[in-house]
Amino acid sequence: MYIRCVIEHKQHPEQAYKSCSGILSLAGKVGADRLAAACKRASSYGIYNYSIIKQILEKNLDALSEEEQQDLLSMPDHHNIRGSDYYQ
């Protein structure tokens, strides 16, 4: 499914082919399960390219649970951060 999204989001078929080929080559290095998890994570962000998949795998972000992913994305508690309520 992820490969289809890569193809659909590229303007030229040659770009899509190279990107898909690169993504599929990562399966030989990290395994199909990790690659699938990285593709799922990138897809949840709406990002469809080789470099993002490679970064996710290099930083082991594919192994994080949903709760750990949310912790990385949440704002830290700090007295100087106003938040969205301040601007309403």
Q: What is the pLDDT of residues 17-67, one digit of tens each?
A: 788 888 889 989 999 999 988 888 888 888 878 899 999 999 888 887 666
Q: Is residue 52 part of a domain?
A: yes
Q: Is residue 31 part of a domain?
A: yes
Phi-psi region of 16 (alpha: psi -120 to 50; beta: other; left: phi over 0): alpha
pLDDT at position 55 is: 92
pLDDT at position 73 is: 62
**Number of structural domains in the chain:** 1
Q: Is residue 84 part of a domain?
A: no
Across residues 54-82, what is the average pLDDT?
75
Q: Is residue 79 part of a domain?
A: no
Cα separation, 49 vs 42, in Å, equals 9
Q: Is residue 71 part of a domain?
A: no
Q: Is residue 24 part of a domain?
A: yes
Q: Is residue 49 part of a domain?
A: yes
Parent domain of 12: 2-64
Compare 80 and 52 and report the one with higher pLDDT.
Answer: 52
Q: Is residue 74 part of a domain?
A: no
Question: What is the reported pTM?
Answer: 0.63
CA distances from 35 to 64, 65, 87 (A): 13, 15, 41
